Amino acid sequence: MLQWFRKQPTNSQASNNGGDLHIALTRKLIDFLSSQISAPKRATSIMSQIARFKELPPTYQEKELPGLYLKIEQYLVDEDQMQKFTKAQLRKTVKYRYEPLMELENFSIIFEGEKQQELLLSQLLLKNLILRANSVVENEHEATFAAITEWIFQLPDIDSLKTPFNLNEPIPTTPGQWINLLVKISQKLYYHLEDILGEAEAASLFEKSYREIAETYRPLETFYVVVQLMPDKLLDENKIGLLTGEQIRNVFLNKVSHLQKINDELSETNGELKDTQSELIIAQDTAMESVKLFHSVLNTVEEGIVTADAKGKIILVNEQILKIFGYEEEELAGKSIEVLMPEKYREQHRKGMERYFDTQESRAIGQRLILEGMRKDKSVFPLELQITETRISDRIFFTAAMHDISQSVKNETELKKLSDDLRRSEQKYRSLIDTVQDIIFTLSLDGNFISLNPAFDKTTEWRRDEWLGKPFTQIVHPDDSLNALKLFQLVLQNETPPPAELRIRQKSDQYITGEFNIVPQIQNGKMIGAMGIARIVAHPRQEEAGHKLDEKRYVKFLESSSDAILLYQDGKLVFANAPAAALLGAE
């Protein structure tokens, strides 16, 4: 048996091995996955699917488990706000914690390596298809379909079995060879069904099988292999539209490779075998239409796509690439990929390719990179790209998906400037607060101190950190605490109460009197707390000049605040800063 292929247990084997255990573990797995969703109230769609799943009978749960798992996995990895797992981490965790569930053939596929997953998905499609076909073919064809069924279900242990449709193919030894063989068998099976059942019935069998596999396994990166097995004449934009951009690129490259092989085989026949040549010409035309279809779909994706061979020669571009770089398609076909790079990157690119082919290691493949591209007019611009590798038989292709991020970089620069301006404004604001002689404070909606300026330390002899997070009423004289509470309640009602004198306790247990002005603190149209100023008034002989100087500082402070501040005296509005005026619609 091939080392890279681990044959799956059949569902009946799995059920016999631990039916009740599988049922219990399935429920535990779904409970575990749902517990990892950080905000269930926001994940209404996925939570409703979980609830529906739990109501299903156990036999239906086993069938639905792979599809639900992949949906939850996709949510946790890509959409959940916490994103606790990568895809690989989650699969490793599930495989370890719920190992007996790996006995379920339809579920364990998800946790296999990429190459084995491709073969198992291909086999699954053919199994589904042949079982459907066996239910409709007439008795005279039963023997043929029994042989095909045995061959498909015994994969890869087929040494003693005859290859279906008399295909003169050696037993594959690599994953790529297996896929190529299964593609041929799928195509032959379609035409055989078309001969005995008619075109409509043959197409219906393939469509139903494809749809059933797609409903469950479409989120898998390797699902594109199922599309490869579909007859070219049955492919349409609806089926291709189910694929991700990367899956479309992989199928496209495989179709191109398949077309090249047909062309090579057609050249070799050289008219010697007329029937074979005619068959190849039909296959060539069909494959060409399929290639054109995939190319047209690639032109609809938002990202720029460029594919090059192992030598760096461009073999595919979509319309977005042409728009981004300003070229016509014929100007890029066959050219070096380096034509899209500024000169300073080219030597680095060559060395990177040499290192990759020597070591099979790359720091770029699979990573999102921010680099620069060069347009036809030689202008250089920032771009984001991700490079993927595709191997088809013995050939290697590299595909880069690109986005022009010029506008994003411009916006980021403007945002940085705005942030710098805001930081300077905050520093100026903070400097003013730190130098003023009166106590400036902010309170939470619960009445706890959020911030205090240095004047608090000097005036009360307390350290600020001793009071941050504590109720402001605790520093007020017990006889004044009720008035302080009423003052704060007015603020919570979005009113600005008149100034009030309150006695505050110093660390020495002495009390000093302060005149308190407290106003609502508004942010984005919502009240977030209160802001206040306490001016000490226990020294009536303080020089009038000092009062006036402090008054100027207060006015300057209030005017520079980004919060809306209104001051009332004797029930009349005596001051409003610019944000408050804007809030009231006044100038």
- The string of pLDDT tens digits covering residues 198-256 is 999 999 999 999 989 989 998 898 888 888 888 878 877 676 666 666 666 666 666 65
Residues 445 and 526 in one domain: yes
User: Is residue 367 located within the same domain as residue 443?
Assistant: no
On whether residue 459 sits in a domain, the answer given is: yes
Question: Percent of the chain beyond pLDDT 70?
Answer: 76
Residues 382 and 326 both lie in one domain: yes
3-state secondary structure 323-383: HHHCCCHHHHCCCEHHHHCCHHHHHHHHHHHHHHHHHCCCCCECCEEEEEEECCCCCEEEE
Residues whose CB falls within 8 Å of the CB of residue 212, separated by 6 or more in sequence, listed in order: 128
pLDDT band at 123 (very low <50, low <70, confident <90, very high): very high
| pLDDT reported for residue 542 | 44
pLDDT at 260: 58
Mean pLDDT of 419-428: 64
Check whether residue 398 and residue 523 sit in a common domain.
Answer: no
* Torsion of the alpha carbons at 152, 158, 164 and 169, rounded to the nearest 10: 130
| Residue 199 falls inside a structural domain | no
For range 534-555, the mean pLDDT: 59
pLDDT of the residue at 49: 94
- Number of folded domains that form the chain: 3
Same domain flag for 485 and 395: no
CA dist 239 and 460 (Å) reads 75
On whether the CB atoms of residues 163 and 169 are closer than 8 A, the answer is yes
Q: Tokens 């396994």: give the residue.
A: 217
The answer to whether residue 576 scores a pLDDT higher than 90 is: no
Cα 5 to Cα 158: distance, rounded to the nearest angstrom: 13
Q: Is residue 132 part of a domain?
A: no
Q: Are residues 396 and 443 in the same domain?
A: no
User: According to DSSP H, which parts of 388-539 are helical?
Assistant: 406-435, 454-460, 481-492
Q: What is the structure's pLDDT at 33?
A: 94
Whether the pLDDT of residue 350 is over 60: the answer is yes
**Region for 270 from its dihedrals, namely left if φ exceeds 0, alpha if ψ lies in -120 to 50, beta otherwise:** left
How confident is the model at residue 200, as a pLDDT? 93
Does 441 share its domain with 568? yes
In a domain, 262, yes or no: no
Residue 231 forms part of a structural domain: no
Q: What angle do CA 531, 533, 537 make, to 5 degrees?
A: 160
- Predicted confidence (pLDDT) at residue 195 exceeds the cutoff of 80: yes
Cα gap 533→553, rounded to integer Å: 12
- As a whole number, the mean pLDDT across the chain is 80
- Give residue 538's pLDDT band: very low, low, confident or very high (50, 70, 90): low
Q: Do residues 477 and 580 both lie within one domain?
A: yes
**Overall average pLDDT of the 38-57 stretch:** 91
- Confidence class of residue 12 from pLDDT cuts 50, 70 and 90? very low
Span 501-519, pLDDT tens digits? 999 999 888 889 999 998 8
DSSP state for residue 470 in the 8-state scheme: S
Residues 382 and 440 in one domain: no
Same structural domain, 399 and 509: no
- CATH number for the domain spanning 469: value is 3.30.450.20
Query: What does the pLDDT read at residue 36?
Result: 92
pLDDT of residue 411: 67
The residue-averaged pLDDT of 552-561 equals 70
What confidence category does residue 539 fall into, taking pLDDT thresholds of 50, 70 and 90? Answer: very low
Of 76, 111, 146, which closes a domain? 111
The reply to whether 362 falls in a domain is yes
Residue 41 located in a structural domain: yes
pLDDT at residue 413 in the model: 66
Asked if residue 550 belongs to a domain, the reply is yes
End residue of a domain, out of 404, 424, 458: 404
Domain identity same for 444 and 569: yes
Domain range spanning residue 469?
436-584
Q: What is the pLDDT of residue 549?
A: 52
Of 111, 132, 163, the domain-final residue: 111
Q: Are residues 474 and 566 in the same domain?
A: yes
Distances (CA, A) of 77 to 31, 38, 99, 526: 17, 12, 21, 34
Share of the chain above pLDDT 90, in %: 24
How far apart CA 169 and CA 150 sit, in angstroms, is 17
Give the SS3 label for residue 80: coil
